A and B are shown apart, each in its own frame.
Chain A
Amino acid sequence: MSGQGLTQILVYAVALVVLGYPLGVYMARVYADGRVAVGRWFGWLGSIENGFYRLIRADAAKEQDWKAYSVSVLVFTIPFLALLYVIQRAQGHLFLNPDHMKGVPAHLSLNTASSFITNTNWQFYGGEYTMSYLTQMAGLAVQNFVSAAVGMAVLVAIVRGIARRSGGTLGNFWVDLYRSLVYILLPLALVVSVLLIWQGVPQTFSGHATAHTVQGATQTIARGPVASQIAIKQLGTNGGGWYNSNSAVPFENPTGLSNFIEMLAILLIPAAQVFMFGRMVAARRHAFAVFAAMFIVFVIGMAVNLPAEQHGSQVLRASGVNITQGNGQSGGNMSDKEVRFGQAATSNWAVATSDASNGSVDGGFDAMTPAGGAVPLVNLFLGEVIFGGVGSGLYGMFFYIVMAVFIAGLMVGRTPEWLGKKIEAREIKYAAVGALFAPTMVLTLAAISISTKAGLASVFNPGAHGFTETLYAYDSQGNNNGSAFAGFGLTNLSAYLGAIAMLLGRFVPLVAGLALAGALVKKKAAPVSAGTFRTDGPTFVVLVVGVIGLTAGLMIFPALTLGPIVEGLMH
């Protein structure tokens, strides 16, 4: 840990707020009225928008209640699952396949299709030697846009449920989807793509290049339309890499600057959504409090991971090599890490990607120290609510806020309220399902995997670390993250169990969130009185962080003792 490294992290945090705030304000305007947001010079965009609704024969003027909205989400998403499956299976016979990739096996295709439609981007394959250009750009990258936009749309609908004081509807799915895609994700993706190409990320339709190396060997160099996909993989908190080693590969992430841009892209929209929420519910101080709660957990992650990685494991220190920072090296645990990033940038990335539901990595998690690797493991398990995935992060946080407000109400003996809406039995039920479904499922599936022979076949590392690999795999898929302790291998069981984890982990909390909004939207606003628990002060921040720790944090603790804690104590 050097001052230089810590300053990089500080600049990152400042940039996140400085860019996230105006974006949040812009997004609130976009969803209120798409045409106002882009200014009077862009009136023609409104015509295109209306043309889209006419073309797909959707009644954009019609408001939907939570049930109709949920049905629209599901009916739109599920056919994409089928399409993505078919593209992978058939890619060997299709065009845009210069390197002659064969059709993807059935179990892997199903796992990957489930992975990309749910914004997970878990990868049981290496992209550069498995997927054709057609599959990557017309299959996977399209899902990077679409799954992100669906999450953003659902969040906006839920926020409307909190904000509205009359009526029973949450907005129109097609409108929210279109505006997320065209007014928010597309312009950002164009900018980030160009920046990445400038820094060195390939963007070509030519097949692999062959080099005749200095010492007389041949080297295959994989490339393709990479930059356009990497830009949206970060912005949409998707995380699925073009290459097997993801953003550790120089072709995805060539420089310190590209690394910073990609890291910023990971948390930019999720951070902006907190400010957008504050505007839409007209409670900016409450949004700042939510932001503060998230920021505290982000800092805790950094404060554990970076020193652990810089200090290195007992085995590394016992090896006797020089791990001291300075004199021309960043030092520390450099296993599965890249020289151009070193410890500070790799650690910053690991925390950001696991706070969000991104899951891209710029260094391997499997090789991290026990304490360092436990940070992403726990971050995922909390449900990725620390800024979180685009959309899904903030509505995941709402579940915890509802519980925190409820507990505060119990303590003072009053009916709890959140932003003027009374929180009663029904809301608590939906919030509990939303917050606790994924952790319960994760522990169950990890237990099944670790206690069966077929499940153990996926484990790569021996001992307690192998247990952590398994737990991380279901933690990552169940919470739609997609990062991995990447030694965990593909089998029939792991492919299908993972697909189930990803689909349920996406849609159960999503529908629970919409149901919660459907319940809240019908409530009359209660006037603020002297007894109302304030949700914009430090007490609220402490309470929310405490509730996150007490629910998901305590659920994972027993499993932590079997994995990283045992491993840390063994040496």
Chain B
Amino acid sequence: MRNLVPSVIAIVVITAFFGFAYPLLMTGVAQVAFNHQANGSLIKANGTVVGSDLAAQAFTSPRYFHPRPSATSPAYNAGGTTFANLGPTNPDLAKNMKAAAASILGLEGPYNPGLTTHDIPVDAVTTSGSGIDPDISPANAALQSRRIAAVRRLPLATVQKLIDQSTDGRSWGFFGEPGVNVLKLNLALDRTGAG
């Protein structure tokens, strides 16, 4: 009992400070100093929110670059992230990768003569960790670039330039891996007005 009184008071005081004051203070700092990031890195076009820098969204039209497969329900649900959790020997994993590869061959094949499964980068057929990975690998973007150039009637060099502009390199040129932000890239494509 001698311990219970200090415990109960300490629980109240600690919850008040670390549970309310601390996050409030950080929110104040964040809203003032880093407003864009603090509110979810939202992208606006003509006043409406079209997405976030940090979340993939569904692109199915051949006019657009496509993001990586997603295990969320529905796909690319930024309010319900999940792994696929398929083990390395789960038959569903092999089945899903095969189906994804076949669909890529069907979509990109006409624009890439002689395309084989071995030309498909692994990130294009595997689910991401979050289900909303905003990036594809530069190799994946390069594979899709010929289709985009043909469908939109843009020079391949222009498409390549837009890819470069939407590529987030390693942080400080060192940490992590480079990735191409699919939403930023597709918005940049739409801004060209082509196709």
Of B38, B89, B122, which contacts A571 at CB under 8 A?
B89
The minimal Cβ–Cβ distance linking A239 to chain B, given in whole angstroms, is: 15
Of A8, A255, A260, A313, which contacts B88 at CB under 8 A?
A313
Q: Does A115 contact B (CB under 8 A)?
A: no
User: Which residue of B has the minimal Cβ distance to A190?
Assistant: B26
Q: Does A529 contact B (CB under 8 A)?
A: no
Inter-chain contact B23/A339, CB cutoff 8 Å: no
Inter-chain contact A141/B129, CB cutoff 8 Å: no
- Number of contact residues on B: which range applies? 35 or more
Inter-chain contact B130/A249, CB cutoff 8 Å: yes
Inter-chain contact A321/B137, CB cutoff 8 Å: no
**A138 in contact with B176 given A328-B142, A336-B127, A366-B87 (CB within 8 Å):** no
Inter-chain contact B179/A339, CB cutoff 8 Å: yes
What sequence of 0s and 1s flags, for each residue 62-102 of chain B, a beta carbon within 8 Å of any chain A beta carbon?
A: 00100010000000111111111111111101100110010
The minimal Cβ–Cβ distance linking A564 to chain B, given in whole angstroms, is: 10
Q: Enumerate chain A residues within 8 angstroms of B174, measured Cβ to Cβ.
A: 8, 11, 256
Of A75, A79, A193, A461, which contacts B90 at CB under 8 A?
A461
- Provide the bound-state CA to CA distance between A72 and B136, in Å: 52
Inter-chain contact B135/A339, CB cutoff 8 Å: yes
The minimal Cβ–Cβ distance linking A225 to chain B, given in whole angstroms, is: 4
User: Which residue of B has the minimal Cβ distance to A134?
Assistant: B19
Q: Enumerate chain A residues within 8 angstroms of B68, measured Cβ to Cβ.
A: 339
Inter-chain contact B40/A209, CB cutoff 8 Å: yes
User: Which residue of B has the minimal Cβ distance to A367?
Assistant: B86
A-B contact count (CB 8 A): 391
User: Which residue of A has the minimal Cβ distance to B135?
Assistant: A339
**A334 in contact with B122 given A79-B7, A141-B19, A328-B139 (CB within 8 Å):** yes
Which A residues, 166 to 189, have Cβ-Cβ distances below 8 Å to chain B? 174, 177, 181, 186, 189
Q: Does A507 contact B (CB under 8 A)?
A: no
The minimal Cβ–Cβ distance linking B184 to chain A, given in whole angstroms, is: 11
The minimal Cβ–Cβ distance linking B182 to chain A, given in whole angstroms, is: 10
Inter-chain contact B40/A204, CB cutoff 8 Å: yes
User: Which residue of B has the minimal Cβ distance to A364?
Assistant: B83
Q: Enumerate chain B residues within 8 angstroms of A462, measured Cβ to Cβ.
A: 90-91
Q: Does A330 contact B (CB under 8 A)?
A: yes
Q: Enumerate chain A residues within 8 angstroms of B151, measured Cβ to Cβ.
A: none
Q: Enumerate chain B residues within 8 angstroms of A550, measured Cβ to Cβ.
A: none
- Provide the bound-state CA to CA distance between A24 and B182, in Å: 43
The minimal Cβ–Cβ distance linking B107 to chain A, given in whole angstroms, is: 15
Q: Enumerate chain B residues within 8 angstroms of A486, measured Cβ to Cβ.
A: 83, 85
The minimal Cβ–Cβ distance linking A18 to chain B, given in whole angstroms, is: 16
Inter-chain contact B130/A248, CB cutoff 8 Å: yes
The minimal Cβ–Cβ distance linking B104 to chain A, given in whole angstroms, is: 9
- Number of contact residues on A: which range applies? 35 or more
Inter-chain contact B85/A58, CB cutoff 8 Å: no
User: Which residue of B has the minimal Cβ distance to A327?
Assistant: B139
Inter-chain contact A321/B118, CB cutoff 8 Å: yes
Inter-chain contact B175/A213, CB cutoff 8 Å: no
Interface of B is mostly: mixed
Inter-chain contact B9/A334, CB cutoff 8 Å: no
The minimal Cβ–Cβ distance linking A49 to chain B, given in whole angstroms, is: 12
Q: Does B121 contact A (CB under 8 A)?
A: yes
Q: Does A355 contact B (CB under 8 A)?
A: no
Q: Enumerate chain B residues within 8 angstroms of A200, measured Cβ to Cβ.
A: 37, 41, 53-54
Inter-chain contact B49/A174, CB cutoff 8 Å: no
**A567 in contact with B38 given A214-B51, A260-B175, A322-B120 (CB within 8 Å):** no
**A321 in contact with B15 given A56-B6, A256-B170, A330-B137 (CB within 8 Å):** no
User: Which one of A31-39, A295-303, A340-348, A536-544 contacts B?
Assistant: A340-348
- Provide the bound-state CA to CA distance between A516 and B61, in Å: 66
Which B residues, 102 to 136, have Cβ-Cβ distances below 8 Å to chain A? 116-136
Inter-chain contact A219/B128, CB cutoff 8 Å: no
**A331 in contact with B85 given A254-B54, A257-B176 (CB within 8 Å):** no
Q: Enumerate chain B residues within 8 angstroms of A567, measured Cβ to Cβ.
A: 87-89
The minimal Cβ–Cβ distance linking B1 to chain A, given in whole angstroms, is: 9
The minimal Cβ–Cβ distance linking B11 to chain A, given in whole angstroms, is: 6
- Provide the bound-state CA to CA distance between A137 and B16, in Å: 11
Q: Enumerate chain B residues within 8 angstroms of A58, measured Cβ to Cβ.
A: 6, 10
Q: Enumerate chain A residues within 8 angstroms of B48, measured Cβ to Cβ.
A: 212
Q: Enumerate chain A residues within 8 angstroms of B125, measured Cβ to Cβ.
A: 319, 321
Inter-chain contact B175/A212, CB cutoff 8 Å: no
User: Which residue of B has the minimal Cβ distance to A571?
Assistant: B89
Q: Does A88 contact B (CB under 8 A)?
A: no
- Provide the bound-state CA to CA distance between A219 and B77, in Å: 7
Q: Enumerate chain B residues within 8 angstroms of A337, measured Cβ to Cβ.
A: 126, 128-129
- Provide the bound-state CA to CA distance between A258 and B82, in Å: 20
Q: Enumerate chain A residues within 8 angstroms of B101, measured Cβ to Cβ.
A: 319-321
Which A residues, 244 to 291, have Cβ-Cβ distances below 8 Å to chain B? 244-245, 248-251, 254-260
Of A138, A194, A243, A468, which contacts B19 at CB under 8 A?
A138
Which B residues, 33 to 53, have Cβ-Cβ distances below 8 Å to chain A? 33-34, 37-42, 48-53
6 contacts between A and B (CB under 8 A): A75-B7, A204-B38, A214-B57, A245-B82, A328-B142, A339-B68
Shortest beta-carbon contacts, A-B, top 8: A256-B176, A248-B129, A257-B171, A138-B19, A328-B138, A220-B79, A465-B87, A342-B177
A contact set with B: CB distance below 8 Å: 8, 11, 52, 55-58, 71-72, 75-76, 79-80, 83, 126, 128-129, 137-139, 141-142, 145-146, 174, 177, 181, 186, 189-190, 193-194, 197-206, 208-215, 217, 219-223, 225, 227-229, 243-245, 248-251, 254-260, 312-313, 315-316, 318-323, 327-342, 345, 361-364, 366-370, 460-466, 468-469, 485-487, 567, 570-571
B contact set with A: CB distance below 8 Å: 3-11, 13-15, 18-20, 22-23, 26-27, 29-31, 33-34, 37-42, 48-55, 57-61, 64, 68, 76-91, 93-94, 97-98, 101, 116-142, 168, 170-172, 174-179, 183, 186-187, 190
A76-B6, A138-B20, A203-B27 given. 19 additional CB < 8 A pairs? A8-B175, A75-B7, A203-B26, A217-B57, A248-B129, A249-B130, A249-B132, A251-B54, A316-B122, A319-B98, A320-B118, A321-B101, A328-B142, A329-B139, A336-B85, A336-B126, A367-B86, A367-B88, A485-B87
